[in-house]
Structure 1
Amino acid sequence: MYSLMSPAVLLGSLFFSFLAAANSSIPQVTLQGCGSFAGTNISKTLLGDNLPQPVNAWLGIDYAEQPVGDRRFRPLQSQPQSLKGVQNATKYRSVCLQDRIYPNPDEQDEACLNFNVFRTPGVPLSKKLPTLVWIHGGGFASFSGRDFDGASFVASSADPVVVVTFNYRLNAFGFLPSKLFEREGLLNLGLQDQRFFLQFLQKHLSSFGGDPRQITLGGLSAGAHSTAFHYFHNYGSDKNKPLFARGILQSGSATARSFPGPDYPRYKKDFAGLMKYINCSTDVDDKEQMGCLRSASAEKIREYSAKAYEDAKDQLNWPWQPSIGGPLIEKAGSKSEEEGTFHHLPIITTHTSDEGKYYTPGDLETNDDFIQFWHRISPGLNITDLALINELYPDPVAYPDSPWAGSSNSTQYNRISAAWSDMAYICMSRHTAVTTSRAGVPTWSLHFNTPDFPLVAQSWKGIPHASDAAYIWNDPHVAYPETARIYYRYINSFVLTGDPNKMRLDGTVEWPQYKAGENGNGYAKQLVVNPGNFTVVEEDRGRGRQCEFWNDPERAGRLYK
């Protein structure tokens, strides 16, 4: 499958050996009912560069009784049992089971639900600091909380701050959409892990000197989709009970890509394939099927999860995804947007210029190839839809003045990538900003337009999905470090104050709120992050007709948005 791995994240994942031993100067924390934990100092970035200042850290602390044995494929029920004595929280612990291509595969384990806390040093724990809680991406199938450089974010902060990262169940362990799981109430276990952890933080964040009333919840890609699912879940048991104060959606939304219900053909195939692979019969009652799933080899489940994911090329709906109808997505994101059932909290949405260029094939040459691609990956598109897509994205072969002419590898690549980008990310991010701003919510939109060719191996991929992954924590190894400093300080200011402007770098442009319909012409203003010191404010003149097509309420339903 086309890799979901951001090059910056891939590089960062290779370095986890820099941690120091427990240090007596690090405050010891006690979590009521869980135990006491001694932390460490971190002085290096994930890539081994010196931080501007050391950072206090507590690493690898469990936040729940682990979902192993009979607890596999069940919602989390309780925090871990209290441990006697002082525990060393001085190194990262296991990541969740996933494809073995993930660095350090020997560190994978089914017992993986742990978290990490990073904090500005020298500030008493009695002072409660604004906190960023980051949900990692990876297509709901891979990566971990390790991949966000929390220490770097803290060390560069304009004011004292806390960053928290964590793991949640992935692939089939956390997202096994099926009629069996629907009947058993077990859909979206990974999302439920996230909510459980946010509830856990409401009880325990203050022990680390964080302020549970000032949590910014954010994420990249699947982490942004996750953040959006929590943000757009102001109904049911979560109504008027937000577990955070503001949100950051870095290339993601509640309507991104596509999240069908458990009866979707792709999901039925994946479930049947998994059951066969682990020798579990589907011709028995639900209790016996669940018993077999819970007693099956974790390694076998991991193997099939990775194989099915790798085999799902050119698919709009990948295996092991959140499912509409399950917890936190009882109704589709587009429906929640339409009905206004979201937490009215300040929000930042972002997208890159060429989101789809990681995911689309680079060898299609004809208009028929283009049409067949969309027919194959999205059966919900009817003949009328396909004709409209053909019109909205003119064929560069037939129309040399098409905006998508001049692709360096195949005639259809830029065209397919633009349409995929709009469908999956750009138009969805824009619609989130329109929805929240029209509801009077402080909203800011960002367009990342900085190529990072040293990290993106092929320049023809432009500025694809996750190009800005490392910019958000001010990584010095990006192609444009000055751009990273600028971008980071806007985000840092938002985490600290709820406004990206109050603590932005001196001399940088003010980032205006996104206000749909302003200036009398419908164009709101967004921040455009260009290479070097050339970040500017521009009107959001994105592909308006194309976005109207993808965001049409009736069509959104057919596309499971």
Structure 2
Amino acid sequence: MHSKSAASLILLSLFGTSRATYILPRASPVGSTVKLDYGTFHGLEDHTTGILYFRGVRFADPPVGNLRWRAPVSPPSTQLGDVKATQFANACISATQRRVTSGTSEDCLFGNVYVPINTAVSDGLPVMVWFHGGGFQSGSTHDAPPELILHSSSNPMIFISFEYRLGPLGFLGGTQINDDGDLNVGLLDQRAALRWVQRYIGQFGGDNKKVTIWGQSAGAGSTMFHLIANGGDNEGLFRAAMGDSPSLSFVPAFNEDYDVQIFNQYASFAGCGNQGANVLSCLRSADANTLASASSQVLAARPSTLFVFAPILDGKFINERPVEAYAAGHFARVPVVFGSNTNEGAHWSAELRDPSANTSMPNATEDTVFNFIRGQYVTFTQASVNRGFELYPLNSFNGSFSLQGQQMYGEVRYICTAGMITGSVSKFTTAYQYHYDNPHLGSFHADELDAFFSPPANADQNDLALFEAMREYYTSFVTTGTPSAENAVAWDRVSSPSGSSRILFHPGGIKMEVVDDVLNTRCNFWHGINQEMET
């Protein structure tokens, strides 16, 4: 007897010509073993969480030796055979490390794929890709557990997180690297990871046409840069982008004095400063501990700067700074969600070892505030800060230079950036902005991540209800393109260049709000001096 096609079975049923029952074969399940063309990965099937965990999946060759400061080689060029993929692999070396510590390595280009347990290979699930924060200098994927996000999604989806090179190994500038290597390799790692998703996610039950990228802080800065990279050509790598507290950092050109001096300083600390034309060869042959020590010494030599290493203007992948690119419309035309927290700028200045830039000092003055901001944007001028002080009058902050400085920094770096991105994108496609404000648990930088990964023990019922709604908004945006949450207000899209209106994530009271004129005026000021600030 010949097997019948699905179409013929439907016809038999419709016309009543047969009483027989035919059971179609079930689509092939993903299961805990996935075979790719360069290796077979054996993950963990956890029936308690209902998730398949594939951790430590290599997506590129180790970026060591001659591959330092070069674009990642992805997919891996050698056969890996059978790989146990149940535990996290090494995280990338942080810029602050004085040596290579356990759990970190240069060999760090790995991803983690989390799949609902009953997924079939043919299901074509939407995919959420996470890039961690840490100022482009630290952080890892290990602090982003998938359980709450996947369990809150009304529709099944896949969650993936990727490591990328950090600090000088990811974002060192200078003409030598431009001439014999690649700049912004940390961003190129992320881009390679997204190409890996395009090539392989189908074998995990995902749809490579339904990818949304997401990140926080430097991770949100990353999604901001991926939107404008290649002049706005996203190569079909993602259909939407999200960012929590997108970081508008100082973006010098690779051949500016700032980057050249950092390169020379780093090379000198690594013992390669006297190598002339061979300095990069020397750096590529140095051991990893030597490079880690050199990195930490560069940071120590710049005590008024929070993040020395970050994306730079390379003239190729990033050929336009963010403020200019978004104003000109040079970005991928995809829907976005971006937002920020009330107290984004708090605590940062107090971390600085330079007392002349630390506004928490009892003898702080306007000069301290200026030194704090200039430490992050080294081309910021006295004339501009004087104009800034008019927009942030000290008497509005109870005479506190600390509060004044934190508001200025929080807005220029994060708050105004979310408004800029969403306001610009809204002219072409759907954009949504949020404002996270939680007086109970705090509304500092990264506090909103409690909702997605790790609600604190002192979260009350209002907090937990807010967190659930936030996860529903985010995951529905990934799966349907429209953020929505059960028993919560409709999230209206942005309809003005200022990023207004935006949703207020507040425990016991989610609602829409308008971006007020005061904030709009301040943001216009910061973005109006973007060429001076190199943002």
TM-score where L is the length of structure 2: 0.86
Structure-2 residue corresponding to 1:351: 340
2:514 maps to which of 504, 520, 539? 539
How do 1:89-488 and structure 2 match up within 5 A?
A: 89-98=85-94, 105-233=101-229, 235=231, 239=233, 241-252=235-246, 256-282=248-274, 284-285=276-277, 288-309=278-299, 312-315=302-305, 318-360=307-349, 361-363=359-361, 365-374=364-373, 377-396=376-395, 402=396, 404-405=397-398, 411-437=400-426, 439-451=427-439, 453=441, 463-473=443-453, 475=455, 477=457, 479=459, 480-488=463-471
Q: Distance in 2 between matches of 1:440 and 1:100?
A: 40
2:252 and 2:440 map into 1 onto residues whose CA distance is 34
Q: Which has the larger radius of gyration?
A: 2
Q: 1:470, CA displacement in angstroms? A: 2.6
CA distance in 2, matches of 1:83, 1:77: 13
Change (3 A) 1:258 1:376: closer
Any idea what SS the aligned residue of 2:389 has?
Answer: helix
- Return the offset for 1:529: 0.8
Partner of 1:41: 45
Deviation sequence 1:256-308 (CA, Å, 0-9, x none): 131112244443343222212221135521xx222111100111111222343
Among all aligned residue pairs of Structure 1 and Structure 2, give the percentage whose two residues are the same amino acid. Answer: 26
* Conserved? CA contact 1:231–1:342, under 8 Å: yes
For the structure 1 residues 25 and 182, does the alpha-carbon distance in structure 2 shift closer, same or farther, using more than 3 Å as the test? closer
Amino acid corresponding to residue 356 of structure 1 in structure 2: G
Pairing 1:27–2:17 present: no
* In structure 1, C-alpha distance between the alignment counterparts of 2:453 and 2:531, rounded to whole Å: 36
| Alpha-carbon distance change, 121 to 181 in structure 1, aligned in 2, over 3 angstroms | same
Which whole-Å CA distance do the structure 2 matches of 1:313 and 1:348 have between them? 34
CA distance in 2, matches of 1:25, 1:262: 44
Q: 1:477 to 1:440 in 2, by over 3 A?
A: farther
| Whole-angstrom CA distance in 2 between matches of 1:135 and 1:376 | 26
Q: Are 2:380 and 2:532, in contact at CA under 8 Å, matched by a contact in 1?
A: yes
Give yes or no for contact 1:227–1:247 (8 Å, CA) kept in 2: yes
Determine which of 64, 67, 83 is the counterpart of 1:68.
64
Whole-Å separation in 2 of the counterparts to 1:188 and 1:341:
19
Name the SS for the 1:294 alignment partner: helix
- 1:337, distance to aligned residue in structure 2 (A): 1.1
Aligned-pair distance for 1:380? 2.5
8 Å CA contact 1:65–1:77 kept in 2: the answer is yes
Structure 2 residue identity aligned to 1:37: F
Distance in 2 of aligned mates of 1:82 and 1:370: 52
Once the two structures are TM-superposed, the CA of residue 42 in structure 1 deviates from its matched residue by 4.5
Deviations 1:477-499 (A, max 9, x none): 47322221111111111111111
Instruction: Indicate conservation of the 8 Å contact 2:148/2:452, yes or no.
Output: no
In structure 1, the partner of 2:502 is: 526
Q: How far, CA to CA, are the matches of 1:249 and 1:332 in structure 2? A: 18
Deviation of the 1:328 alpha carbon: 2.8
- Extract structure 1 runs of 4+ deviating beyond 6 A: none
Alignment check: 8 A CA contact 2:251 2:311 kept = yes
Q: Determine the structure 1 residue equivalent to 2:50.
A: 54
The letter of the residue matching 1:308 is: V
Q: 2:24 is matched with which residue?
A: none
How far apart are the structure 2 equivalents of 1:39 and 1:534? 41
> How far does residue 25 in structure 1 lie from its aligned partner after superposition?
9.4
1:475 Cα deviation after fit: 3.8
1:157 Cα deviation (Å)? Answer: 2.3
Q: Which runs of 5+ in 1 are unaligned?
A: 1-23, 44-50, 397-401, 454-461
Unaligned runs of 5+ in 2: 1-28, 350-358
- Partner of 1:181, secondary structure, is helix
Find the counterpart in structure 2 of residue 459 from structure 1. Answer: none
Secondary structure (helix, strand or coil) at the match of 2:242 reads strand
The one-letter amino acid paired with 1:281 is G
Q: Is the 8 A contact 1:355 1:464 kept in 2?
A: yes
Aligned residue pairs, count: 493
Could you tell me whether the CA contact under 8 Å between 1:55 and 1:155 is conserved in 2?
no
Tell me, in whole angstroms, the C-alpha distance in 1 between the residues paired with 2:440 and 2:260.
Answer: 39
Counterpart contact for 1:152–1:475, Cα < 8 Å: no
Per mean C-alpha deviation after superposition, the further-off stretch among 374-383 and 418-427 is: 374-383
Q: Counterpart of 1:223 in 2: which secondary structure?
A: helix
Instruction: Give the letter aligned to residue 309 of structure 1.
Output: L
2:238 and 2:300 mapped to 1: Cα distance?
35
| 1:390 partner SS | helix
